[in-house]
Amino acid sequence: MLQGMAAGVGAAFGASLLPERLLASPTSGGTPKRIIFFMQNQGFDPATCIPEGMNSSGSLAKAKLPEPIEALEPYKEQLHIISGLHGMHTSPSHSAFFGALGGYRGSDGVPPSASTIDYEISKVLPQTLLPHLCIGMDSIENMTTKPTIATLSASGAGQPIFMHSNPNHLYQMLYGGISTGDIRLQHDARSNLLNQIEMLAAKKGRSLPAASQQRYGQYVQGFKNVNGLRDRLNTVAGHLRKFAPKVDERYSKPKFETDWHDVLLDLGISALKSGITNTLTIGSGRGEIFGAWKGLGVEQQGHNLGHMKQPDNPIWIKIRQYNSRMLVRIMEALEKVPEGSGTMMDNTLIVYTSNNADKQHTNGANWPVMLLGDCGGIFKTGCFTQLDGRRPINALFTSLLRAAGQNVDRFNMNEKLAKKFDASTGPLKEVLA
């Protein structure tokens, strides 16, 4: 449990940042201020997002969105549907795991071979107290027994970043210092425990063999970063009070797992609005082959969902509609917050896709993606783009880095791999305006 709490957090918690760096500086030069990655497990069938009759690239203005994503109809002008990217080099059969956001070969139980795009984006966007926040949604049983899990994001080779799945723990981490009653008591007790662990670990670690000291030191640093984040958040308590969600029975007495899904999303949105973070990764199904949505009336769960065809399937229509409503909730929340001459949503990009391409047991030949937002005109919107399947998801990730101001031509793909899996170089011209 302690390893799960500490491992990898140093990369995500920005230990060197000062409290006055809480809010990102105003956008300059037409670059995004925040990017949200929403990863749905079990695949994203293109038929569930491409309007009927659209067989080639074109405007969405006169198209009617399919039933699974109909909640996005009012946001068509901000939507870009992309079909024809591939991830055949990632081995995404049940899931590409870290490879979905890393653009490299991934598999169950295999550690990341390099950093993932969400982490790399968090480094180049305006820095905040918590540059990168990951939340994971699953069945109540899985979220309770494994409140943190790492399957999608990484800060480097062998350095996974953990997702938060228990909203009570995440609320304590973000807002425990400004809470009262039981939440404050639990926060203080947890803080005291972690401080003692840090001191004890630092002292005892010196007696370990040299080979073990380095690995042990990573855990010690993880606790230092957790404690340091808590201290920095406490210094901006007055600011955070404006954004902390109201705690209700969904936290302590969830009727369905979707109660926890909903409040986890609330916490993610609050972290964006408050400026605590500017990179949010949401793992619906947590990058694995499980997941449950009984709160939607879906009794089937886990691996069996992946064996069902998604188009015209009432079960998958419910799940995809739920996802679409979550996307709308994010956009509506950010549109209400002024930023510069517009709103927070004007400077935000949402990337929605799956961690195993179009379906379970896939070779990754088609990896559909939806983008929402144009970040002040950087990204093309209001359109559908059909690609020829010759460019990998890495090219999209390269585009995101370019938009954020990084002059790169490839992401996690060397020349040898690119010669086999990428027909071009540089960003996707079809994505950038």
Instruction: Tell me what the mean pLDDT of segment 226-245 comes to.
Output: 79
What's the pLDDT score for residue 222?
A: 57
Question: What distance in Å separates the CA atoms of residue 31 and residue 191, rounded to the nearest whole number?
Answer: 37
Question: Rounded mean pLDDT of the chain?
Answer: 87
More confident residue, 199 or 1: 199
Residue 103, SS3? coil
Put simply, whether the predicted model's pTM sits higher than 0.85 gets the answer: yes
Least confident of 17-26, 80-89, 91-100: 17-26
Question: What distance in Å separates the CA atoms of residue 78 and residue 381, rounded to the nearest whole number?
Answer: 5
Residue 217: phi and psi, rounded to 5, are: -60, -30
pLDDT-derived band at 4 (thresholds 50, 70, 90) equals very low
What's the pLDDT score for residue 321?
A: 98
**The CATH number of 2-421 is which of 3.40.720, 3.40.50, 3.90.400, 1.20.950?**
3.40.720
What's the pLDDT score for residue 26?
A: 44
Domain boundaries, the chain: 2-421
Question: What distance in Å separates the CA atoms of residue 57 and residue 242, rounded to the nearest whole number?
Answer: 43
- Tokens found for residue 413: 């793909």
Contact 232, 19 (CB under 8 A): yes
Instruction: Note the pLDDT tens digit of each residue in 142-183.
Output: 999 999 899 999 999 998 998 999 999 899 888 886 655 666
Torsion of CA 176, 181, 186, 188, to 10 degrees: 70
- pLDDT above 90: residue 8: no
CB crowding 246-261: b at 16 or more within 10 Å, else e: ebeebbeebebbbbbb
Instruction: Note the pLDDT tens digit of each residue in 378-425.
Output: 999 999 999 999 999 999 999 999 999 999 999 999 999 999 999 999
Question: What distance in Å separates the CA atoms of residue 229 and residue 187, rounded to the nearest whole number?
Answer: 13
Contact 182, 247 (CB under 8 A): no
Q: Which amino acid is at 120?
A: E
What's the pLDDT score for residue 239?
A: 86
- pLDDT above 90: residue 99: yes
DSSP class per residue in 325-369? HHHHHHHHHHHTSEETTEEGGGGEEEEEEETTTTSSS---S---E
- pLDDT above 60: residue 108: yes
What's the pLDDT score for residue 217?
A: 60
Instruction: Note the pLDDT tens digit of each residue in 330-364.
Output: 999 999 999 989 999 999 999 999 999 999 999 99
- Which one, of 87, 85, 108, 167, lies nearest residue 287 by Cα? 108
Question: What distance in Å separates the CA atoms of residue 196 and residue 216, rounded to the nearest whole number?
Answer: 16
- Which one, of 228, 221, 236, lies nearest residue 275 by Cα? 236
Backbone φ/ψ region at 151: left (φ over 0), alpha (ψ -120 to 50), beta: alpha
Question: What distance in Å separates the CA atoms of residue 433 and residue 87, rounded to the nearest whole number?
Answer: 24
Q: Widest CA span of the chain, in angstroms?
A: 69
What's the pLDDT score for residue 386?
A: 98
Instruction: Note the pLDDT tens digit of each residue in 297-336.
Output: 999 888 889 999 999 999 999 999 999 999 999 999 999 9
What's the pLDDT score for residue 391?
A: 98
- Which one, of 195, 170, 172, lies nearest residue 183 by Cα? 172
Dihedral sign computed on CA atoms, order 157, 159, 164, 165: positive
Give 408: exposed, middle or buried? Use CB within 10 Å, 0-12, 13-18, 19+: middle
Contact 277, 229 (CB under 8 A): no
Give 327: exposed, middle or buried? Use CB within 10 Å, 0-12, 13-18, 19+: buried
Highest mean pLDDT among 185-189, 208-212, 237-241: 237-241
Contact 383, 355 (CB under 8 A): no
